[in-house]
Amino acid sequence: MRIGVYPGTFDPITLGHMDIIRRGAKLVDRLIIGVTTNIAKSPMFSDDERMEMVRREVAQIEDSNITVVGFSSLLMDFAEAQGASVVIRGIRGVTDFEYEYQLTGMNRQLNDRIETVFLMADVSLQPIASRLVKEIAIYGGQIHRFVTDAVRIDVEKRVREIGLKGD
């Protein structure tokens, strides 16, 4: 059985993430969505909230071979513990590629038994980034083109709790 891991913070999960999940699930027998916290980012949602959000969104995918698991360790240790032979990463553009290229090189040094597969984001979804979705929402902009309705509601509720920014 080929097991793949698609890791991310998913803060929040976007239509771009969902595209990579749907396509990545076709490449493996079982896809594990690894929800983690990136220490370089300040999440809008807690680990538990992000896990629930991702579970809710992937439950909409029919004939799903997808599970959602939280982790707070090195990606290669997590992937090994899950029995994965593949890590799936989404690429939006050159900047993502440069970062992912370096990350993949380091990960190969940690565990060369696990391959990394890059999937290019659908061209219509390439500009979408969770960081930008949050920024747009915090300044009162519309995010409905970047996330599902349920995620939009979650983000708008959180923004109401923390307060809008700007004039």
Is residue 151 a contact partner of residue 12, using CB atoms and an 8 Å limit? yes
**72 catalytically annotated:** no
Active-site residue (options: 22, 55, 73, 92)? 92
Residue 127 backbone phi and psi in degrees, to 5: -75, -15
Say if residue 146 is exposed, middle or buried (CB neighbours under 10 Å; 0-12, 13-18, 19+): buried
**130 catalytically annotated:** yes
Alpha-carbon distance values, 24 to 15, 142, 152 (Å)? 14, 28, 24
Residue 161 backbone phi and psi in degrees, to 5: -70, -40
**144 catalytically annotated:** no
Give the separation between CA 32 and CA 135, rounded to whole angstroms.
28
Active-site residue (options: 50, 89, 130, 152)? 130
Residue 131: name the closest of 43, 46, 6, 39 by CA: 43
**41 catalytically annotated:** yes
Active-site residue (options: 17, 50, 89, 152)? 17
Would you please indicate which residues are annotated as catalytic (active-site) residues?
17, 41, 92, 130
